[in-house]
Chains A and B, each alone.
Chain A
Amino acid sequence: MEVYKTLAEIPQDELFTGGHGGCRGCGAALAVRQAMKALGPRTIINIPASCMATIGGSGLTTAWMVPFYHSLFECAPAVASGIRAALDIQGIKDVNVVSWAGDAGTADIGFQALTGAAERQENIIHVCYDNETYMNTGGQAGSVTPYQAVTPDTPTGKPTPRKDMLAIMAAHRPAYLATASVAYPLDLIQKFQKAKAIQGFRYIHILAPCFRGWGIREDQTVQLARMAVECGLWQLYEEVDGRRRVTVIPERRIPVREYLKLQGRFKNIDEATVAALQAEADRRFREVQS
């Protein structure tokens, strides 16, 4: 399988173009722009209710150069299943069918259709772009919002830990599963290239910070996405046949505290939690080294 070895090899053509409606420093728009470099023009994408569903198309204008359908919140993987069934019966084999949802459209309201499509091993790619909150409606907490994060509806901090969507999706035994980060474009694009070359259900979970929700500056999106990897709270890996391979081992390691303290949403976090997160990050780094 051919994958780009350097950033210079990545095509200059944009399939998610400038002029979209995202904020400056939007992690979600970055994720799409990068992924489309790998997916290419023979891709049909459907996106349920989310920032991404509106950023790329409004009124009679669109930033998408591929067929794009703004579908309903609960059912993007089901829509993708139907599209695939229709392409198959017509003998169209060279088109990527993608459901691209936020963390709510993946882990919460969209979870039923996702687990259904994953269990059926639908020949589709589901992408979760994860900003860890419901940003399209103002940043309320969802099931993958981290423990103690302050949001409009958890003003003193979220009382429960983040749901482990990757463990849940791994339990479906997808044909391909990967994590990615907008701070590591080559790694992200390579993963989409690999996913594209595999048949069956593929799941890619991208950490895509939202500066508003995270309480950071708009020029810090990529910095924070990188720091999440450097502190070990977000690990970049892929799984094929249940075997995990870490794809990026950061050149420098930073304490978890450094990542957290830049973010307004963690202003209430307690020391015990910081210590627990640090222990979790340390464990992950040890696993890679062993």
Chain B
Amino acid sequence: MRLLLNGNEAAAHAARLARVEVLASYPITPAAPVMEKITQFIAEGTMRCNFVRVESDHSAMAAALGATMAGARSFLITNSQGLAYMSEVLYHTSGLRQPVVMAVVNRALAAPHSRFPEHGDVVAQETSGWIQIFCENNQEVLDSIIQAFRLGEDEQVRLPVMVNYEGYIQSHTRETVDMPEQEKIDAFLPLVRRPVLDVDNPLAVNTVTGPELYMDYKYHQDAALQRAGTLLGEISEAYGAVTGRNWGGAVTGYRLEDAEVVLVTMGSLVSTARIAVDALRAAGEKAGLLKIRLFRPFPAEAVREMLKPARAVVALDKNIVYGAGGALGRELRAALYGFTNVPVYSYILGLGGRDVGVEDLTAIYRQVNEGLAAGKFPALYQWYGL
């Protein structure tokens, strides 16, 4: 069934199809409509789910964590200030290996106050231990949320997952979205209960841990996160077999075969960059695109492999790690260092909802080409569109 849905509606339908049992959320712009849609599903009786009407994002994360620990499939939504506010609970959720899934409708962090999109909110949580998936359109939002439950709940992973899409650009823009049949999703995503808080099997959870054990817990947590990177590819394939849509694993390439200058980005900018690459190709340029679907764990090995033939890499970052540059630019340099001498051009753009169009990306492409021709070493990072 094909419907015209905005990103928030797609996320709500994904939660319904995934048979989410507990929703704990606090309204925040522009994510609140997901919560409204799910409470509507509950009221209509099309979704069997308990909604915990918490008083804050901190409590939302705490309630979702509690619910998952007690054996329920749990979901929540947030972004921006709400995500920052729940930060310490994010670390509890990943440290306790609880597969909560959260839709993050990316929005800039204050100050100055902004309601508009960028990736700064979620990049700020890059060390939280959550799996972070980015979506380029509303169909991918729906599909990725369903896949996120299977990924996070996998026994080899057992970690929480953030599924990211941008405020307004995706959350409030309608696109055609194919709705998979419930039976197919049920078969793809069976409910397996693994409560850690169970009166029939009492455990003490999160006891004070000394230096003789803490680091080992962290090692296993990191190893599980790394496994998620590999597993996402398998899960995407399995999902493709069921629905006909395979978004690829952690990273996918577009027109990379003989590409000399490769644009690398994530989120809604991927769609824009794909059109820009087509336009550049039509003009005789050897342009390519690398779509980062999985930001955490960062797919460094796949990126190395796929960027081997490139003469230049262009990181397009809708975030700024102050004083250090864009998160993608930094990750790409770290991944490529020692394997290739290819220059990484790092651009900061689109912050706080500033528009980025096809013409901006082609302009950046030409700037990079000029830089290459001049043989100049690229700057650590540069701002575009001020």
Binding site for B on A (CB under 8 A): 41-44, 46, 54, 56-62, 64-72, 74-75, 77-83, 85-90, 95, 112-113, 115-116, 119-120
Contacts of A74 in B (CB 8 A): 58-59, 62
What is the total of A-B residue contacts with beta carbons within 8 Å?
158
Contacts of B46 in A (CB 8 A): none
Contact partner of B207 (CB less than 8 A), chosen from A59, A66, A67, A85, is A59
Against A, the Cβ 8 Å flags (1 = close, 0 = not) of B278-307 are: 000000000000000000000000000000
Q: In the bound complex, what is the Cα–Cα distance between A69 and B195 (angstroms)?
A: 12
Say how far B82's CB is from chain A's closest CB, in angstroms: 14
Q: In the bound complex, what is the Cα–Cα distance between A58 and B213 (angstroms)?
A: 11
Decide if B67 is an interface residue (CB 8 Å cutoff). Answer: yes
Contact partner of B59 (CB less than 8 A), chosen from A54, A61, A68, A113, is A113
- Judge whether B89 and A83 touch: CB under 8 Å: no
Q: List 18 A-B contacts (CB under 8 A).
A: A41-B199, A57-B207, A59-B212, A60-B207, A67-B199, A78-B58, A81-B59, A81-B66, A82-B22, A82-B52, A82-B62, A82-B70, A82-B74, A85-B72, A86-B66, A87-B70, A88-B50, A113-B59
- Judge whether B69 and A75 touch: CB under 8 Å: no
Q: In the bound complex, what is the Cα–Cα distance between A56 and B205 (angstroms)?
A: 11
Say how far A20's CB is from chain B's closest CB, in angstroms: 11
Contacts of A57 in B (CB 8 A): 204, 207-208
Decide if B163 is an interface residue (CB 8 Å cutoff). Answer: no
Which residue of chain B has the shortest Cβ distance to A57 in the bound complex?
A: B207
**Chain A: interface secondary structure?**
mixed
Contacts of B203 in A (CB 8 A): 67-68
Contacts of A58 in B (CB 8 A): 207-208
- Judge whether A67 and B205 touch: CB under 8 Å: yes
Against A, the Cβ 8 Å flags (1 = close, 0 = not) of B88-129 are: 110010000000000000000000000000000000000000
Contacts of B195 in A (CB 8 A): 86
Contact partner of A44 (CB less than 8 A), chosen from B24, B197, B208, is B197
Which chain B residues numbered 192 to 226 have a C-beta less than 8 Å away from chain A?
Answer: 193, 195-199, 202-210, 212-213
Which chain B residues numbered 1 to 41 have a C-beta less than 8 Å away from chain A?
Answer: 21-22, 24
Say how far B255's CB is from chain A's closest CB, in angstroms: 46
| Most chain B beta carbons < 10 A, residue from A82, A83, A95 | A82
- Judge whether B65 and A82 touch: CB under 8 Å: yes
Contacts of A79 in B (CB 8 A): 62-63, 65-66
Contacts of A65 in B (CB 8 A): 202
- Judge whether B69 and A83 touch: CB under 8 Å: yes
Against A, the Cβ 8 Å flags (1 = close, 0 = not) of B321-345 are: 0000000000000000000000000
Contacts of A95 in B (CB 8 A): 199
Q: In the bound complex, what is the Cα–Cα distance between A96 and B162 (angstroms)?
A: 31
- Judge whether B63 and A85 touch: CB under 8 Å: yes
**With known contacts A82-B24, A116-B59, A119-B55, A71–B72 Cβ distance under 8 A:** no
- Judge whether A89 and B72 touch: CB under 8 Å: yes
- Judge whether B50 and A89 touch: CB under 8 Å: yes
- Judge whether A66 and B89 touch: CB under 8 Å: no
- Judge whether B199 and A78 touch: CB under 8 Å: no
Contact partner of A116 (CB less than 8 A), chosen from B54, B66, B70, B197, is B54
Which chain B residues numbered 64 to 85 have a C-beta less than 8 Å away from chain A?
Answer: 64-72, 74
Contacts of B198 in A (CB 8 A): 67
Contacts of B54 in A (CB 8 A): 78, 81, 113, 116
Contacts of A89 in B (CB 8 A): 21-22, 48-50, 72
- Judge whether B89 and A86 touch: CB under 8 Å: no
Q: In the bound complex, what is the Cα–Cα distance between A74 and B60 (angstroms)?
A: 12
Decide if B53 is an interface residue (CB 8 Å cutoff). Answer: yes
Say how far A7's CB is from chain B's closest CB, in angstroms: 26
Decide if B56 is an interface residue (CB 8 Å cutoff). Answer: yes
Q: In the bound complex, what is the Cα–Cα distance between A60 and B72 (angstroms)?
A: 26
Say how far A90's CB is from chain B's closest CB, in angstroms: 6
Say how far A24's CB is from chain B's closest CB, in angstroms: 20
- Judge whether A86 and B62 touch: CB under 8 Å: no
Other contacts beyond A67-B196, A78-B58: 6, CB < 8 A: A59-B213, A70-B205, A78-B24, A79-B65, A83-B66, A85-B72
Say how far B200's CB is from chain A's closest CB, in angstroms: 9
Q: In the bound complex, what is the Cα–Cα distance between A67 and B205 (angstroms)?
A: 8
- Judge whether A64 and B202 touch: CB under 8 Å: yes
Q: Give 4 closest A-B pairs by Cβ, nearest first.
A: A82-B66, A116-B55, A82-B63, A78-B59
- Judge whether B22 and A85 touch: CB under 8 Å: yes
| Most chain B beta carbons < 10 A, residue from A60, A72, A77 | A72
- Judge whether A113 and B204 touch: CB under 8 Å: no
- Judge whether A85 and B209 touch: CB under 8 Å: no
Contacts of B67 in A (CB 8 A): 82-83, 85-86
Q: In the bound complex, what is the Cα–Cα distance between A41 and B50 (angstroms)?
A: 25
Which residue of chain B has the shortest Cβ distance to A48 in the bound complex?
A: B62
Q: In the bound complex, what is the Cα–Cα distance between A133 and B21 (angstroms)?
A: 39
Say how far A168's CB is from chain B's closest CB, in angstroms: 15
Which residue of chain A has the shortest Cβ distance to B21 in the bound complex?
A: A89
Which residue of chain A has the shortest Cβ distance to B96 in the bound complex?
A: A69
Q: In the bound complex, what is the Cα–Cα distance between A179 and B203 (angstroms)?
A: 29
- Judge whether B199 and A42 touch: CB under 8 Å: yes
- Judge whether A70 and B206 touch: CB under 8 Å: yes
**With known contacts A43-B199, A67-B205, A71-B206, A90–B71 Cβ distance under 8 A:** yes
| Most chain B beta carbons < 10 A, residue from A42, A74, A115 | A74
Q: In the bound complex, what is the Cα–Cα distance between A74 and B62 (angstroms)?
A: 9
Say how far A171's CB is from chain B's closest CB, in angstroms: 16
Which chain B residues numbered 160 to 203 have a C-beta less than 8 Å away from chain A?
Answer: 193, 195-199, 202-203
Contact partner of B66 (CB less than 8 A), chosen from A43, A54, A60, A78, is A78
Say how far B52's CB is from chain A's closest CB, in angstroms: 5
Q: In the bound complex, what is the Cα–Cα distance between A62 and B291 (angstroms)?
A: 47
Contacts of B92 in A (CB 8 A): 71-72
Contacts of A60 in B (CB 8 A): 207, 213
Which residue of chain B has the shortest Cβ distance to A120 in the bound complex?
A: B53
